[in-house]
Amino acid sequence: MKGCWAIAVLALGVVAQTEAQSLGELAKQEKKRRQAVSDPKTRTITEDDLRGGPKASPAASPEARSGSAAAKARTDQEPLTETDRRRLEALANIAARFERLVDDGNSLIYTARLYNQTNCTSQPQPAECTAMQQSLDSLACSVGRSLDDVEEIARTGFLPPGLVREAREATGLDGQLWDTIQGLSRSHCAGR
């Protein structure tokens, strides 16, 4: 029995080693493929671009003094187009809105759960339900306006949907939370 375990462990080790080598080879092949496919015209937008350019001149940076490729690439960059500038501003604005939406959306979800747990959906309603419903409706309408604002900023900022989704998910607004917030906003702000 001990011999069988030893053979099984040895066989498992050989399989793991073989698999690790093939994963390493695959990673090297993928890296080569990406380098071959990469577009030399692709431009990476940095935080300096958001602020209107680097604070110090590129020649004064340690990278430039050492003659690095990164410093040379930075000095050879074309200025931002108006569309790129609008996109950067819109993306920064949307990120801030999404952070607020996380808090407001969670408050909306909490208030809706409390409203339902208090039996406010039954007839006749308990006395505290009127104030709670007004608060829920007000919060839902506020969140709804924020959702509309985000869509408008994305539209006027020429942001593609994938970029908006990435910004949303980076702030913790995953698809399920987003859908829940939208649904609650629509159902409690109808007609307002």
Residue 23 lies in a domain: no
Residue 132 lies in a domain: yes
Separation of alpha carbons 184 and 121, rounded Å: 14
Provide DSSP, 138-177.
Answer: HHHHHHHHHHHHHHHHHHHTT--HHHHHHHHHHTT--HHH
Percent of the residues in the chain that have a pLDDT greater than 70, as a whole number: 60
Distances (CA, A) of 89 to 52, 85, 86, 93: 11, 6, 5, 6
Residue 14 lies in a domain: no
Residue 108 lies in a domain: yes
- Confidence grade of residue 47 (pLDDT, cut at 50, 70, 90): low
Residue 155 domain boundaries: 84-188
Average pLDDT of the residues in 57-86: 56
Supply the CATH number for residue 99's domain.
1.20.58
Rg over alpha carbons for the chain, rounded to the nearest Å, is 27
Take residue 144 and report the two structure tokens written for it. Answer: 């709804």
Residue 51 lies in a domain: no
pLDDT for 141-152, tens place per residue? Answer: 999 999 999 999
pLDDT at 174 over 60: yes
Residue 88 lies in a domain: yes
What is the tally of structural domains in the chain? Answer: 1
**pTM across the whole model:** 0.56
More confident residue, 51 or 70: 51
Residue 34 lies in a domain: no
Residue 95 lies in a domain: yes
